[in-house]
A and B are shown apart, each in its own frame.
Chain A
């Protein structure tokens, strides 16, 4: 889409203050969002680099690139970095921080200083982890299973667990901030069921962050304590119970999967609506399904432990609950599909990411059903089938959503557009590379290749080669946006609301002024209130009425949107 005669606003949040202090001591949620973005991008490419090394090693059945120990450190760092330092903070800390106040018509989040603190805590946690990478790594797997992690591992477990512990606080503070912000800072007239679905999903995510992350913190502290003080909580040699650790760990780490995917679900709801110019079908169902997922996510942790000597009756309960949590996820997919019906579907980059997301999330979710079934999990547990499943959800889901959101709100953040053609290409490459990487892994998994093997039986090789080929394509797909986004900061075409999308965040200038809105916005309509044309059998096209074009300046009153900008 091309906008005519748009110019950047004279003052916006990027140029209102200058100097490194104005960034490091800022309390502006938009700047903090960008700080987060820079830090997690570094972590993303570091973790991705480890992923490529892992796939390279798996080209052949023998260990011909790395020793066993090195390989173990690589997959551990790949997991720890990408889960705790990229996926968990990705959408909430960047897009969430940037957009929540804009979307609800607030000047900032509820606790701006706390927001900055959470970034500093995140950086401290990251530095711990980077230090671990620098001095020799950790080889316990990101799951830190005891008693290996507490007694037998000779790597930097304590430093890594402390890093994760610190980052947990950043996650808790972010969640706390969002909950209070969404409760108390909404613009007049913005009722709960007028909120954008992105806000709903972040609200659900924040609940999980606040309630689940402390358990991870405690667990990490207990591991560290067990390592240096021999407390005897997990190590059976000291009278502990190793399976207790698995319960405590998954009590956080299963909800954590939903911390990663829920924001993406929200982003995709926004994208589908914006690129069909249509209200999301079954808005209330989609909104409530986010909360349902958040609630159910707390009571399914045991499905990671069917074969861990847990009681089979407990296993049965966790199995049935795991199927229940799949229902709201399925509802979202069906509703997005129904939203496309009779929409006005454009093929801009964010939409391609969103459609790719739906495909991957569907396959990822459905393969989760296989693993939730006790009888099948007895075969599939800890095989590559599991790897493929959770990568489809976390990478195919969370990362596709994150990238889609970045492309969609990029002009909002910087007032400039990325090159559209390259964007579509990257969406396509990521989708193809992703499927080629992980589809063969389902087959390898059912064949019985266990996870975390650097040497494997020769009959698995052909599929592993496919997977490695896919991962290199995926790597290219991830590097492209890095290049053209940086390019667009200077040379991109100036844009304000190139999608002609609705929502409070588009009611202000792009990039927004430091205080977000020059006047207090007042909401008088439902979310996604796009004008429609009467149902037509033919191929006639309705003319666009006023209201989709953003106001030329924030002081002008938008006509026909029902939102009256009033001086308060």
Chain B
């Protein structure tokens, strides 16, 4: 990746010399990879355009009409040339396609240990809910060196989450969760834009992503938390009497929820789907659409009775119930670290109160910031990427 480093440096020097920004910051693990493809295509396409323009100039000058009656000369151009410039560009196009698709697929699914932050877009603000219950508006604090997954939904129209420094972009759609993830590599404050036109104040639906060193992030986290998302979700779950049917018994009227998230579920139609956030959400709001095999369509729908934030809490609770069959037990209160059930992600229950900010076990050590232009190793692609059911 040496050429890329040189190119990036050249770009930055040019920008400094011209006092013009030419190039956004590279602040995520994925940014150098995107830029590498960009520079490769810039080199190829720029070369081709310059070649064509020079050739046209050369021909237009060399073969200009010198006398009013000058005819064209007989020219014999082999037809093989025609096939050459059909096939060779096609090969280049396929290389662009392959590289671009590879980049996209490598990052299509967030790593399993990603920190999940819920994001709600509305006209015209961004709202974030951290797993420990911290809420922010138009600001997003994240740790450097740790994959962060945003699970996003809109309350009104389509928005789009765009952080140029991270080279990420994902539409935020009403009544449907979309995901995007990134791993910040440099502490700093970065632009966050809404890039899908959403009405009057579209241009002001902007915010900042604040990437902090892990210990600073920890300090920030120890601010006002009001109970973790899953805990609030549990309270809501009990308040809405969901636990009346989803008791976890074999004879229960509702399906068994622990371990549901990420599992294959067979429906009454015989179809098998993955229980992702969107399925859980739909089952809360419109339970009759996709009924798990072996159960009756008796659950009332909660469409219109819950706010987006409440739905996020419920989904967080159901996801928290683990990915394996295990004892159905309430979420530990946030005053003590929760015992981690086997095979479950360390969830973000962090001690609150006067605890010195320290690395809690299970979080990755702080990554040293890579020098500009260096390419961090890409995260391992998780297996089993499946298309999201649309």
**Residues of A bordering B, CB below 8 Å:** 1, 63, 68-69, 72, 139-141, 143, 145-148, 151-153, 236-237, 242-243, 276-278, 281-282, 285, 306-316, 319-320, 323-324, 326-327, 330-331, 333-335, 337-338, 340-347, 355, 358-359, 362-363, 366-367, 369-370, 372-379, 381-383, 443, 446-448, 450-457, 459-460, 462-463, 530-536, 539, 541-544
Contact = CB atoms under 8 A, between A and B. Distances in A.
A240 B69 CA distance: 67
Contacts of B298: none
Contacts of A536: 73
A331 B81 CA distance: 11
Given A152-B199, A373-B97, A374-B100, A340 B37 contact: no
Given A237-B174, A344-B63, A379-B169, 20 more contacts: A242-B174, A282-B82, A319-B97, A319-B101, A327-B90, A341-B59, A341-B75, A344-B70, A345-B65, A346-B65, A375-B33, A379-B34, A383-B164, A450-B194, A453-B203, A454-B203, A455-B203, A457-B191, A541-B69, A544-B70
Contacts of A341: 59, 63, 75, 77
A181 B74 CA distance: 35
Contact of A447 (B24, B37, B63): B24
A236 B79 CA distance: 55
29 contacts: A276-B72, A307-B170, A309-B170, A309-B388, A312-B385, A314-B387, A320-B101, A324-B93, A330-B85, A340-B60, A341-B63, A344-B70, A367-B45, A369-B93, A373-B97, A373-B100, A375-B33, A375-B101, A378-B167, A378-B168, A381-B195, A383-B164, A443-B22, A447-B23, A448-B162, A450-B193, A452-B197, A452-B202, A534-B73
Interface string B265-307: 0000000000000000000000000000000000000000000
Contacts of A143: 197
Given A340-B59, A343-B72, A379 B49 contact: no
Interface stretch (B153-161, B210-218, B239-247, B316-324): B153-161
Given A358-B56, A374-B101, A375-B99, A312 B167 contact: no
Contact of A331 (B86, B93, B100, B198): B86
Contacts of A312: 104-105, 108, 385, 387
B223 interface: no
Contacts of B167: 378-379
Contact of A141 (B23, B24, B197): B197
Contact of A326 (B71, B93, B170): B93
Contacts of A146: 158
Contact of B73 (A68, A306, A373, A532): A532
Contacts of B169: 307, 377-379, 381-382
A309 B102 contact: no
User: Nearest 9 A-B pairs (CB), nearest first?
Assistant: A448-B164, A375-B103, A373-B100, A544-B69, A450-B195, A340-B59, A374-B104, A311-B387, A236-B175
Interface string B302-339: 00000000000000000000000000000000000000
Given A307-B171, A375-B34, A139 B199 contact: yes
Interface of B: 19-24, 33-34, 37-38, 41, 45, 48-49, 52-53, 55-56, 59-60, 63-77, 79, 81-82, 85-86, 89-90, 93-94, 96-97, 99-105, 108, 123, 156-158, 160, 162, 164-165, 167-171, 173-176, 178, 191, 193-204, 385, 387-388, 390
Contacts of B191: 448, 457
A544 B199 CA distance: 63
Nearest to A275: B65
Contacts of A306: 104
A460 B203 CA distance: 14
Contacts, number: 307
A316 B101 contact: yes
Nearest to B33: A375
B298 to A, nearest CB: 21
B388 A542 contact: no
Contacts of A323: 90, 93-94, 96-97
A531 to B, nearest CB: 6
Contacts of B56: 337, 340, 355, 358-359
A446 B99 contact: no
A467 B385 CA distance: 43
A148 B71 contact: no
A152 B156 contact: yes
Contacts of B99: 373, 375
A536 B168 CA distance: 58
B390 A310 contact: yes
A277 B68 CA distance: 12
Given A366-B49, A373-B99, A454-B203, A315 B82 contact: no
Nearest to B45: A366
A144 to B, nearest CB: 10
A272 to B, nearest CB: 10
Nearest to A140: B197
A342 B162 contact: no
A243 B97 contact: no
Contact of A544 (B71, B385, B387): B71
Given A145-B197, A359-B56, A374-B103, A533 B71 contact: yes
Contact of A369 (B34, B45, B164): B45
Contacts of B100: 319, 372-377
Contacts of A443: 20-22
Contacts of B85: 330-331, 334
